[in-house]
């Protein structure tokens, strides 16, 4: 049914995400403590501490697995915010067209020019860290993407006969947009959301690395590996390496899943009979 | 009998897809003589386009010529290596496709693309090639000012003319026209057909293989017609014979589906049923599920290709021993 | 429409876009909670008078719309205000940091574009095969590696294996004595005819450029591959091949030019990503460019400097988009219609 490469991407992506989540769950179930300090400061990976300890003796493995919760949570918040605002404005703008559309499109086009990370840095610097704050900071940067995609889809459906007939029987704008038109955009939105979970995780880590992320003792991948920089020259490679590996893994999972879904949806909508 | 230019024998071309094999053409044989126009008609998916692609050995990727012989002027095309075939392409056999819009490189001017057709085959100085191109443009009634235009700047009809010009520029012996007018509106279609007819008379040595699903279009220009269905040949004969005296039930339906504007008023019949699933073609006669006159033999035995009347061939059990064909009409099933 | 008209319209469009950007940045900085004055003063015990004096000096006691107009007016004059911490015009700070960022991004793209396009071409030529698969997987994984972590790993490797590459800064002391003509160390070293300085500059560029360059190359590879495969499937490619063109000719004269347009367009639009990457890369390698300047400014809560950096970035991206749009129209005759 699905083309082979997309199928394996979706499966691979899902597997990776499940592994990541399992690791996170394991931490909570077993009761690992990412905040417990000890006297074994900066000790390399060993049986006791699989990933070593950081500069105040905390177990890095606990911090890394626990950090999954925070990274995914903030990324999720950012995706919800950007999808919510971006898609709805895109739908309305595309549907109503005219001056409203031109102005809104211009605004979002301009916003597109601001790299998401920079907006995030700006906002994070102004309103400070926190799950919702950081989520908001990152989410704003990705709104234009959803705006564009949804607006594009709405525009292409707008002229179709079934829309006219639905209007003719008296459907209100709200019903028309949400009940009839947005469903066409859902596959693209879902694929984009999945991919943006990946970008979100990277951006959260980026902010953390720059010191603008969740406040101290919170175990967060970016913050931890940023903090670990100071010890690289003294040979302690593990505080910065392991959180990074987790980032790569989770992003890989979301990206594979997202791209796989995108390919699946794309091939489903262009299913044509081949002429021989 | 006119000299034979192209001889196709027992051609089979299959598409090897991941889960199944599509037998696009399963044994097709015909000949095109010099200065003759053969029309190949059939529905979508009948394999007609595949015939054209096979002759040029340009089947899209999962396709392969599995069996058969294709001879141009007695020379076997299948025996040539890639480089030799490349030299034959366009110089001896050219193609005019349906999608003139997408058949031109959008970034190159029309003139340059037409000149390219010559320059990849002959070592001609730029001006010589341009001269030739301008002459051909005259033949297809295009102003030479169009040379400098980009493809998107031309109308559909002009693009099609340009395509025809591009096909003719190397003076090929055979032009394969694959649905050349399908994408055009009726008026432009008529112009193009008239043009092709003129070309046929002017260029005395040009043979044409005209592939289409539109009988009215094919009938206007072809000397002979080959009817294909489900990758197999159904009927072959002169245009006159096919139209006035169709022998195969499919051809009968086909002819009936195209009303004659100055003929008697008749009910408009379409061909019932759907084209066959080429992954799993019907047993016996490939047309039997849709045939009004089919009986048990049609499901079990594949009909043979026979010369039912002089120069008029058909593959149908109605015309074999035991078949019910009387006074130019089939009997209804037993 | 004619090319000239298109260019003119597109240029005019840039003005409202930049205005919107500036407004957005301005709003974020003024409207969000957080008193910039207190942020600057921090924990230093200052009297009410001093706080008010600073507020007045920064113009923050004026009504919001006046501040806005004042700022816009300043921008037109090229005045971005004063850095509160460095006590010099923001424009000066930007000018000092700019060459370093230019150098970093230039060499990174010099690596990224050929690398990306070449990998994409190779992958497209071997679609479905093992080579294609490995290139796809490679670029995908590389894309998932955060740029700052990649840089850190390079630094770790250098330290762990004792490799003779500098892991921070733009140059070591060997640059002393080289005239500061452009601020671009490589260029200056050449101009100053100082081979050791040149080598030093390149060595310092090595790790940061590898980091940022490969990051950008990853997405370019994917786009190049997709576009070339897409173009190869077009009808005119088939026709060109039927016309008798050799495979090489088809690829070079027809496929590549048609594919390069969207590829280069996409690359142009990656300026935003490039700048983001530059910010992180500069932080990792302590590279004295605009990115690091921004982060330092954030650390000091240097209001004007932060604003200036962000607006400058936005301007650069807008100009880049403008150039992309215009080039696209110049190269593809279909766009101007």
C229: nearest Cα among C179, C276, C263, C185: C263
List beta partners, residue B64.
B14
CA distance A276 to chain B (A): 5
* pTM metric for this prediction: 0.80
Nearest to B120 among C239, C244, C337 (CB): C244
- Residue numbers in B near A3 (CB within 8 A): none
Q: Please report which confidence band the pLDDT of residue C111 belongs to, taking 50, 70 and 90 as the band edges.
A: very high
C18: nearest Cα among C326, C314, C323: C314
What are the structure tokens assigned to C150, written together?
């990649």
ipTM for this prediction: 0.86
Q: Most A CBs within 10 Å: which of C214, C276, C301, as the mutation test of the A interface?
A: C276
* Sign of the CA dihedral with C127 first, then C130, C132, and C133 last: positive
- B309-324 per-position pLDDT tens digit: 888 888 888 887 666 6
What pLDDT, on the 0 to 100 scale, is given for residue C41? 63
What pLDDT, on the 0 to 100 scale, is given for residue A273? 33
- C231-274 per-position pLDDT tens digit: 988 889 988 888 888 888 888 889 888 888 888 888 888 898 99
- C86-108 per-position pLDDT tens digit: 778 888 888 888 988 999 999 99
User: Which burial class, exposed, middle or buried, applies to C270 when counting CB atoms under 10 A from its CB (0-12, 13-18, 19+)?
Assistant: buried
If you average pLDDT over every residue of chain A, what do you get? Answer: 83
Does residue A128 sit in helix, strand or coil?
A: coil
Q: How many Å apart are CA C337 and CA C329, to the nearest integer?
A: 9
- Yes or no, beta carbons of B50 and A4 under 8 Å apart: no
Rounded to an integer, the average pLDDT of C278-288 is: 92
Does residue C283 sit in helix, strand or coil?
A: helix
User: Which burial class, exposed, middle or buried, applies to B123 when counting CB atoms under 10 A from its CB (0-12, 13-18, 19+)?
Assistant: exposed
Buried b (16+ CB within 10 A) or exposed e, B199-211: bbeebeebbbbbb
Q: Provide the CA C121 distance to its chain's centre, in angstroms.
A: 25
Q: How many Å apart are CA B331 and CA B81, to the nearest integer?
A: 51
How many alpha carbons fall within 13 Å on the CB side of residue B236? Answer: 17
β-bridge pairing B306-309 and B312-314? antiparallel
Q: How many Å apart are CA C105 and CA C291, to the nearest integer?
A: 11
Nearest to A109 among C17, C28, C276 (CB): C17
Q: Which of residues 29-58 of C touch A (CB under 8 A)?
A: 29, 32-34
* A237 has a chain C CB within 8 A of its CB: yes
* Sign of the CA dihedral with C37 first, then C40, C44, and C46 last: negative
Q: How many Å apart are CA B116 and CA B162, to the nearest integer?
A: 13
- Residue numbers in A near C276 (CB within 8 A): 115-118
- Yes or no, beta carbons of C33 and A123 under 8 Å apart: no
Q: How many Å apart are CA B157 and CA B159, to the nearest integer?
A: 5
CB A203 within 8 A of CB A121: no
First and final CA of chain B: distance in angstroms?
41
Q: How many Å apart are CA A47 and CA C187, to the nearest integer?
A: 52
**Can you give the pLDDT of all 334 residues of chain B as single tens digits?**
468 888 999 999 999 888 888 888 888 999 998 888 999 998 887 888 899 989 988 888 888 888 889 998 888 888 888 888 888 888 889 998 887 778 898 888 888 888 888 888 877 787 888 888 888 888 888 888 888 888 888 888 888 888 888 888 888 889 999 888 887 888 888 888 888 888 888 877 889 999 998 888 888 888 999 999 888 898 999 988 888 888 888 888 888 777 665 555 555 556 677 778 877 888 888 888 888 787 788 888 888 888 888 888 888 888 876 666 665 566 654 4
What are the structure tokens assigned to C127, written together?
């679609």
Q: Most A CBs within 10 Å: which of C21, C133, C146, as the mutation test of the A interface?
A: C146
> For B281, left (φ over 0), alpha (ψ -120 to 50), or beta?
beta
Q: How many Å apart are CA C251 and CA C262, to the nearest integer?
A: 16
List beta partners, residue A160.
none
CA distance C294 to chain B (A): 43
The beta strand positions in chain B, using DSSP E, are 4-16, 21-33, 37-41, 63-72, 75-76, 93-96, 174-178, 207-212, 224-229, 232-238, 306-309, 312-314, 325-326, 329-330
Neighbour subunits, A (≥3 Cβ pairs < 8 A)? B, C
What are the structure tokens assigned to A180, written together?
């009839």
């Amino acid at each position: 049914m699905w083309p082979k490469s997309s199928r394996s991407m979706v499966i691979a992506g899902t597997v990776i995400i499940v592994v990541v989540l399992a690791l996170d769950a394991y931490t909570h179930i077993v009761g690992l403590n990412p905040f417990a300090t000890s006297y074994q400061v900066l000790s390399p990976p060993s049986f006791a501490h699989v990933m070593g300890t950081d500069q105040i003796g905390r177990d890095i493995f606990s911090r890394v697995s626990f950090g999954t919760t925070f990274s995914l949570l903030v990324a999720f918040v950012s995706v919800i915010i950007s999808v919510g605002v971006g898609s709805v404005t895109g739908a309305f703008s595309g549907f109503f067209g005219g001056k409203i559309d031109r102005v809104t499109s211009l605004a979002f086009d301009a916003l597109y020019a601001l790299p998401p990370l920079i907006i995030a840095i700006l906002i994070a610097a102004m309103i400070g860290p926190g799950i919702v704050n950081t989520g908001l900071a990152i989410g704003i940067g990705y709104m234009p993407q959803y705006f564009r995609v949804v607006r594009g889809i709405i525009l292409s459906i707008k002229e179709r006969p079934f829309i006219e007939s639905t209007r003719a029987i008296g459907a209100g704008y709200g019903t028309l947009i949400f009940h009839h038109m947005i469903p066409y955009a859902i596959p693209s939105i879902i694929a984009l959301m999945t991919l943006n979970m990946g970008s979100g995780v990277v951006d959260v880590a980026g902010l953390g690395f720059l010191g603008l992320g969740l406040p101290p003792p919170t175990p967060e991948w970016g913050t931890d590996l940023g903090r670990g920089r100071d010890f690289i020259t003294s040979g302690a490679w593990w505080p910065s390496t392991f959180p990074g590996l987790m980032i790569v893994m989770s992003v890989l999972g979301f990206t594979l899943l997202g791209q796989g879904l995108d390919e699946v949806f794309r091939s489903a909508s262009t299913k044509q009979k081949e002429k021989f | 009998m006119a000299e034979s230019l192209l001889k196709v024998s027992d051609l089979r071309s299959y598409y090897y897809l991941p889960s199944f094999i599509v037998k696009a053409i399963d044994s097709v044989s015909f000949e095109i003589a010099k200065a003759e126009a053969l029309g190949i008609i059939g529905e979508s998916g009948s394999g007609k386009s595949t015939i054209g692609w096979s002759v040029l050995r340009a089947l899209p990727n999962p396709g392969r010529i599995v069996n058969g012989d294709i001879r141009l002027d007695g020379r076997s095309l299948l025996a040539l290596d890639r480089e030799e075939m490349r030299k034959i392409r366009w110089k001896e056999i050219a193609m005019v496709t349906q999608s003139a819009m997408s058949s031109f490189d959008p970034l190159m001017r029309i003139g340059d693309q037409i000149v390219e057709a010559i320059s990849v085959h002959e070592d001609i100085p730029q001006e010589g090639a341009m001269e030739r191109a301008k002459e051909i443009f005259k033949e297809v009634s295009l102003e030479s000012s169009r040379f400098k235009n980009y493809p998107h700047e031309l109308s559909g009809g002009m693009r099609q003319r340009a395509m025809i010009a591009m096909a003719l520029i190397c003076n090929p012996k055979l032009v394969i026209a694959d649905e050349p007018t399908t994408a055009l509106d009726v008026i432009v279609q008529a112009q193009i057909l008239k043009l092709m007819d003129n070309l046929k008379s002017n260029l005395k040595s040009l043979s044409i293989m005209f592939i289409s699903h539109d009988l009215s279009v094919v009938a206007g220009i072809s000397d002979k017609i080959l009817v294909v269905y489900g990758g197999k040949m159904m009927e072959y004969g002169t245009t006159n014979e096919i139209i006035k005296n169709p022998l195969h039930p499919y051809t009968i339906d086909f002819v009936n589906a195209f009303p004659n504007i100055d003929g008697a008023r008749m009910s408009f019949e379409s061909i019932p049923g759907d084209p066959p699933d080429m992954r799993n073609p019907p047993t016996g006669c490939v047309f039997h599920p849709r045939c009004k006159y089919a009986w048990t033999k049609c499901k079990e035995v594949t009909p043979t290709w026979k010369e039912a009347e002089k120069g008029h061939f058909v593959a149908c059990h109605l015309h074999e021993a035991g078949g019910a064909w009387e006074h130019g009409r089939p009997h209804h099933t037993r | 429409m004619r090319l000239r008209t298109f260019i003119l319209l597109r240029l005019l469009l840039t003005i409202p876009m930049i205005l919107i950007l500036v407004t957005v940045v301005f709003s974020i900085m003024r409207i969000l909670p957080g008193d910039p004055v207190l942020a600057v003063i921090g924990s230093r015990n200052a009297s009410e008078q001093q706080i008010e004096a600073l507020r007045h000096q920064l113009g923050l006691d004026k009504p919001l719309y006046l501040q806005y107009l004042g700022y816009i007016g300043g921008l037109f004059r090229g005045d971005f205000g004063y850095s509160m911490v460095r006590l010099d015009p923001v424009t000066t700070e930007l000018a000092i940091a700019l060459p370093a960022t230019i150098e970093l991004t230039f060499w990174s793209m010099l690596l990224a574009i050929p690398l990306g396009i070449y990998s994409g071409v190779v992958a497209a030529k071997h679609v479905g095969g093992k080579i294609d698969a490995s290139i796809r997987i490679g670029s995908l994984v590389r894309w998932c590696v955060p740029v700052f972590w990649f840089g850190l790993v390079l630094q770790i490797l250098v330290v762990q294996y004792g490799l003779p590459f500098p892991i921070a800064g733009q140059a070591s002391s060997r640059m002393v004595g080289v005239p500061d003509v452009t601020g671009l160390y490589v260029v200056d070293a050449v101009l100053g005819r100082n081979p050791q300085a040149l080598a030093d500059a390149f060595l310092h560029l090595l790790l940061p450029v590898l980091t940022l360059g490969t990051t950008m190359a990853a997405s370019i590879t994917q786009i190049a591959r997709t576009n070339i495969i897409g173009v190869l499937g077009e009808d005119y490619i088939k026709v060109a091949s039927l016309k008798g063109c050799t495979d090489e000719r088809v690829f070079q004269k027809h496929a590549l030019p048609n594919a390069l347009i969207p590829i280069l367009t996409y690359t142009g639009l990656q300026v935003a990503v490039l700048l983001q990457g530059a910010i992180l890369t500069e932080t990792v390698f302590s590279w004295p460019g605009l990115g690091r300047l921004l982060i330092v400014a954030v650390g000091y809560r240097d209001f004007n400097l932060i604003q200036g950096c962000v607006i400058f970035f936005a301007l650069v991206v807008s100009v880049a988009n403008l150039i992309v749009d215009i080039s696209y129209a110049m190269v593809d005759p279909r766009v101007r219609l």
